[in-house]
Amino acid sequence: MSPQPNRGKSSLFSGFIPTSQKQRLCPLKGISWHQGTIKYLLFLSCLVIPITNLSSASAHKVEIAGDVGGTLHIEPNDNPRAGEPSQAWFALTRRGGRVIPLSQCNCRLAVYAQPYAAGEPPLLEPQLEPVAAERYQGIPGAEVVFPKPGIYELQLNGKPVSGARFKPFEFKFEVTVAGGSTQNTRNQRNVNGDLVEGESQQLPIWAIALPILGFIGILVVVLRSMRSGSE
């Protein structure tokens, strides 16, 4: 008769596996925890970064009319200020990505202060000139000085000149203008009727530093807990 295996002995010592052997048997036990920690830290960083960049630039404004697409960008950083010159340019492209320069477009720019009534004359009609911006050459651009803080609407109308092939278009871009750095913008009413008491729209230093310090503190605590758990 063949000897029977000692089942009692194996069952007795099955629970007493050395720690090193357990780590070899379960090599991925701590990885999921570390991955969760990394994801948590990335989530916290995603919360901190937008807070520290509230005063940064917003995305370019894009409109589409027929077979023409238009992108508006205003220097500096899509954040115009009242009483200060702002360079506005319009990247016009046909369907397929071909750029429409100002030389191929009979374009007109009109600036309205919101709200405005139908048929009301524009507040400003800046002269368009060909400009080079980013990867675009010869696109329509103009210098605009918004008189007061508030919400404005920039209307760009365009028709093809002789030989150009695209449909007439009209774009309407809404632009928010902040208070300028000059004293004449203090304690005045903006174009929407709201009182503007100060010119600064930027966050104070403590409001930017506080979330960063909080994130560093959380990071230190998590790293200490990871270190103590691994020992």
pLDDT of residue 45: 52
Question: What SS3 class is residue 86?
Answer: strand
Spatial distance between the Cα atoms of 117 and 94, rounded to a whole number of angstroms: 31
Residue range 42-54: mean pLDDT, rounded: 45
Spatial distance between the Cα atoms of 190 and 148, rounded to a whole number of angstroms: 5
- pLDDT surpassing 70 at residue 27: no
Mean confidence (pLDDT) of the chain: 75
Q: What is the pLDDT of residues 105-152, one digit of tens each?
A: 999 999 999 999 988 999 999 999 999 988 899 999 999 999 999 999
pLDDT of residue 51: 39
Residue range 70-82: mean pLDDT, rounded: 92
- Is this model's pTM higher than 0.75 or not? no
In this prediction, residue 36 has a pLDDT band, given cuts at 50, 70 and 90, of: low
Question: What SS3 class is residue 40?
Answer: helix
Question: What SS3 class is residue 201?
Answer: coil
Q: Name residues whose C-beta falls within 8 Å of residue 215's C-beta, 6 or more positions apart in sequence.
A: 44, 45, 48
Q: Specify the higher pLDDT residue, 169 or 26.
A: 169
Provide the residue type at 81 as one letter. Answer: R
Q: Is 159 left (phi over 0), alpha (psi -120 to 50) or beta?
A: beta
- pLDDT surpassing 80 at residue 214: no
> CA 163 from chain center: how many Å?
38
Residue range 61-83: mean pLDDT, rounded: 92
Residue range 63-89: mean pLDDT, rounded: 93
Q: Specify the higher pLDDT residue, 11 or 98.
A: 98
Per-residue H/E/C for 158-194: EEECCCCCCCCEEEEEEEEEECCCCHHHCCEECCCCC
Host H or E run for residue 12: helix 7-13
